[in-house]
Homo-oligomer: A and B are copies of this chain.
Amino acid sequence: SRSYRIAVLAGDGIGPEVMTEALRVLDAVEAKFGFTTAREERLVGGAAIDATGHPLPPETIASCEASDAILFGSVGGPKWESLPPDTQPERGALLPLRKHFGLFANLRPGVCLPSLTHASPVKNELIPNGFDVLCVRELTGGVYFGQPKGREERDGEPVAYDTMIYRQSEIDRILRVAFTAAMGRGKRLVSVDKANVLATSVLWRETAVQVAKDYPEVELSHLYVDNAAMQLVRRPDSFDVLVTENLFGDILSDEMAMISGSLGMLPSASLGKQKDGGLYYGMYEPSGGSAPDIAGKGIANPIAQILSTAMLLRFSLGENEAAAAIEAAVAKAIDEGFRTGDIATGAAGETKVGTTAMADAIL
């Protein structure tokens, strides 16, 4: 039978408890669709700092290298917040993983289901049917990794600098991911930049216009990042796919996730180059954080982790039926009224559940 290897990095906070549920769901689809996964559980983030002194130990990287994909929980918490930024769980684990595995394409769905508009901070009348946006963020370029980056004395005072830099090929490849995604959805792509100020954005916009020629069915438009930050608040349902560079994507995808109101339900995929056969090496993780305030209480919403597992099945293993089965089961559990605390209203027809019972409903 088909068999795969997965590195399982549960991390901190609610990571381990939602991961447990995601793996139960994975067990179920394996049995149903006839494949197996060999799973290596490895330390990452604060848990890894506590055990080894490093947020991303070499054993963890080695295990990821030997796998077809990484299923990631979440990292960070108050315990490690006073460490220097470079060695903190988030920065010290996420950025090196992205760079090491060349995970340049971050796919972040921002979905507000029609039945969950009450959970969105935005007025229901602005999003009568909810919304479904896919944010595609460039993840290994721009000001995150650009050189020179540093600090020196000039004229007797400290001066610090970062470099926002893009090669055209880096822009080209992320745009192709976004155009391809748009082809499989509503065929509308909004490219976000700051081409009225940034040289990198001028190149970004030019490249978008060029690449668009290869996707004549997709309607491309451009928004300045400040305007995009406004439009996401006012009319999130006007977007289909949004593509942007690393820093803008960091800000806008989080803004969009908050606007959806269901952070605990949003998965993400960080993909490398497409391989022969169309699959990707990738890392899959919930969009939300480690939520230390509710960790260990059994109340976290496991859906983001479960849907991240579905993305892994689709993009890295090609087990599309299993992925679709998980997504359908999640939709059904919501339809049937199962609600963790983050998305509950107390309305009639709702069954309020904890982490495990939500996974049971999905199973």
B-binding residues in A (CB < 8 A): 85, 88, 90-91, 95, 120-124, 126, 143-144, 146, 149-151, 154-155, 157-169, 194-200, 202-204, 225-227, 229-230, 233-234, 247-248, 250-252, 254-255, 257-259
Establish whether residues B233 and A259, one from each chain, have CB atoms under 8 Å apart when the complex forms: yes
Establish whether residues A143 and B160, one from each chain, have CB atoms under 8 Å apart when the complex forms: no
Establish whether residues B159 and A161, one from each chain, have CB atoms under 8 Å apart when the complex forms: no
- Complex A-B: 24 CB contacts under 8 Å: A85-B197, A91-B196, A95-B197, A121-B122, A121-B233, A123-B123, A143-B143, A143-B164, A149-B198, A149-B199, A150-B199, A151-B203, A157-B167, A160-B166, A160-B200, A161-B166, A164-B164, A229-B229, A229-B252, A229-B258, A230-B255, A230-B258, A233-B259, A251-B251
A257 to B144 CA separation, bound complex (whole angstroms): 28
Given A159-B167, A162-B163; 13 other pairs, CB 8 A cutoff: A95-B197, A121-B122, A121-B233, A143-B143, A143-B197, A150-B199, A158-B168, A158-B203, A160-B165, A161-B200, A226-B254, A230-B255, A230-B258
A178 to B155 CA separation, bound complex (whole angstroms): 25
A197 to B90 CA separation, bound complex (whole angstroms): 10
* Consensus secondary structure, chain A interface: helix
- Which B residues touch A150, using CB under 8 A? 199
Establish whether residues A230 and B257, one from each chain, have CB atoms under 8 Å apart when the complex forms: yes
- Which B residues touch A169, using CB under 8 A? 157
Q: Which residue of B is nearest A160, CB measured?
A: B203
Separation in Å of the A355 CB from the closest CB of chain B?
23
Query: Would A167 and B151 be within 8 Å (CB), given that A200-B160, A247-B194 are in contact?
Result: no
Separation in Å of the A77 CB from the closest CB of chain B?
14
A88 to B195 CA separation, bound complex (whole angstroms): 12
Establish whether residues A161 and B146, one from each chain, have CB atoms under 8 Å apart when the complex forms: yes
Separation in Å of the A343 CB from the closest CB of chain B?
15
In the A-B complex, list the 9 residue pairs whose CB atoms are closest, starting with the nearest.
A160-B203, A230-B258, A229-B255, A161-B165, A226-B254, A162-B164, A160-B199, A91-B196, A160-B200
Q: Which of B91, B123, B225 meets A197, CB within 8 Å?
A: B91
Q: Which of A124, A149, A162, A200 has the most CB of B within 10 A?
A: A162
